[in-house]
Amino acid sequence: KAGVTQTPRYLIKTRGQQVTLSCSPISGHRSVSWYQQTPGQGLQFLFEYFSETQRNKGNFPGRFSGRQFSNSRSEMNVSTLELGDSALYLCASSLAGVGDTEAFFGQGTRLTVV
């Protein structure tokens, strides 16, 4: 069974640009959550998608958005990139979300904003 796949693994963008990150969950999993990991703020929850709907959202500005497709694949978009957006972005998938005993993580996308 394939794990959670995040693409690309590494990304370098210029301040002011926008970026799209992709996450393919484990087959059969319908919940996808996104996290930002930085040395200063640690791991912070961005949002969760379930059945193509955003079910929960963390405390991030509107420049951070996402969506989920009918095959459960999810994308995360950051517009007008700032230097502080440099981080490891992790995606986690689970069967249905609430009540699941385990979330499976991908290897992350390392975003560097210059």
Partner 1 sequence: AQTVTQSQPEMSVQEAETVTLSCTYDTSESDYYLFWYKQPPSRQMILVIRQEAYKQQNATENRFSVNFQKAAKSFSLKISDSQLGDAAMYFCAYRSLQTGANNLFFGTGTRLTVIP
Interaction site with partner 1 (CB under 8 A): 31, 33, 35, 42-43, 45, 48, 50, 55-56, 58, 88, 90, 92, 94, 97-108, 110
CB 26 within 8 A of CB 15: no
CB 110 within 8 A of CB 10: yes
Q: Smallest distance from the beta carbon of 51 to partner 1, in angstroms?
A: 13
The residue among 31 and 74 lying less far from partner 1, judged by its C-beta, is 31
Q: Smallest distance from the beta carbon of 68 to partner 1, in angstroms?
A: 13
The two structure tokens encoding residue 50: 């379930």
CB 23 within 8 A of CB 5: yes
